[in-house]
Structure 1
Amino acid sequence: MIRYPAVAGSFYPSGEALIEMLEEFFSDLGEEGRERRITAGVAPHAGYVFSGYTAGRTYKAIFEDGIPETFVILGPNHTGIGSPIAVYPEGKWLTPLGEIEIDSEMARAIARLSGIADLDELAHRYEHSIEVQVPFIQYLAEKAGKDVKIVPITLGMQDEDVAEDLGRAIFEASKELGRDVVVIASTDLMHYGTMYGYVPFRVRADELSHRIKEWDFRVIRRILDFDVRGMFKEIREMNHTMCGPGGVGTAIVYSRLAGAVEAELLHYTTSFEVSRSTEAVVGYASIVFRR
């Protein structure tokens, strides 16, 4: 089974342009590490021109910490197609950088140990939130000379219970199989502006961007505190439009079980820094969790 790219040439370039962009994002890349303290990372999934540098900070940190055997990548299901909690079962994913193999043994174990996940490829067919993460992994795996596998999981349901179930299932599967795993939570933060049904405040554009940052940092503070329930509480109180809280919650739960004791915000920005438009302003953060 091969999953073909759905957003190559739109969310990110195809061909040589993709390699050139990744080389720019990783121009300050250090040596591959051997510590393996990082348990999970948070990375955005917008077009690379808006959020690629921020996403790259997460993968730079992982590379310099040490590349794992398997990346379990969780992203929201924007299309509404397929199972509510869909683990891609087997085969390969194709991007302009080539193929990457699915860790089918890990995928089956997660689905078996979870009370809510299904093995389902349909939910992934047109979804971009996981696809945009894969070229970063391929590029750095090539740098490290390693054969890395992935387990993509889309979330159509996102709450505390989903995070607890999946985080525990991923941890138990990794222990059962002896896998060295890093969890990636693919999420953008606040979506604001007329494009998303919000009428911006009557303030200067730069002030609007500042307010969105304030709302995002209320959520980010909870993430850095490993506080899943507090994160969801903030989201509900603010009607915050973060699109991947379930994946972030899962990463936190997994990280706690895997012995993580600290979290670090590596980079934050908004789409306004590139677009200068208030019709659609989205926040992006790079975060890692470490043992």
Structure 2
Amino acid sequence: MQCLKFQRLILKFGAVSCRSFASSTAEPLTIVKEEDGIRRITLNNPRKRNALSLNMLNTLKENISKDVDSEKLRVIVLSANGPVFSAGHDLKELMSFNDRSKHTEVFSLCSEVMELIQNVPVPVLCQVEGLATAAGCQLVATCDIAIASENATFCTPGVNVGLFCSTPAVALGRSVPKKLALEMLFTGEVISAQRALMHGLVSRVVPKDDLNKETDEMLKKICNNSRSVMALGKSTFYRQITKDTHSAYKDTSCVMVDNLGLKDGKEGLAAFNEKRKPTWGHTFE
């Protein structure tokens, strides 16, 4: 009932389609900061509960994909301003579209953004505070790593308003056991951060006051590793996870050989043997 009431609020006060800068005084839909190889993307539309409108999705696509092949970029972090991480699709926007082509555009673009997150060559981490619902929950499930505060909650309540969360189910069903996924999809009930952690929807749950510290520590560990080795490993992981065991081992055995041939692969083993810190080149040489 909690999530159903929330969705009704979205219908009443939900986001409408707007440009990133509808006027000279409008706030940007996202805030992007990049420093020391870390790109921080913050959803910045709390008044609309950070809904994934067409403009928000296009903005996220641009933010994530920009200079993604640069050796300077090491990791991407998604977070949000306000009490709601993301309310998912902008239901009011969907209701305002009168033709099927616009609906197709919304869901196709959302799927493109989700696939982009797993296809970029660097880890994508999300920092979750508050409620992540429907496509917002899908966004959490899609990221490589998710760190949540103790007060974070998750649900896929589309069924309660007549719009089953079929696309969120793709990411959700690949993150949690089938029976929990279907419970969430059939009832729309909210699950706690601890239950999300128990079943693999998030990686870690920490006290609210420790969320930034825990995230920064994770980012530091990631940035200490070779970009090229992580890129090879990430692409291989998502490719092999859908294969049968024999095919997965055949694929990954070849990748291990390729990894040994990388300059950073050789450097890492040499540094281990010589008991020193490796000096990464972050290239695919």
Shorter-normalised TM range: under 0.3
Q: Quick check: which one's strand share is greater? A: 1
Q: Quick check: which one's helix share is greater? A: 2
Q: TM-score, normalised by structure 2?
A: 0.24
Q: TM-score, normalised by structure 1?
A: 0.24
For the pair shown, the structure with the greater C-alpha radius of gyration is: 2
Higher RCO, 1 vs 2 (CA within 8 Å, ≥6 residues apart): 1
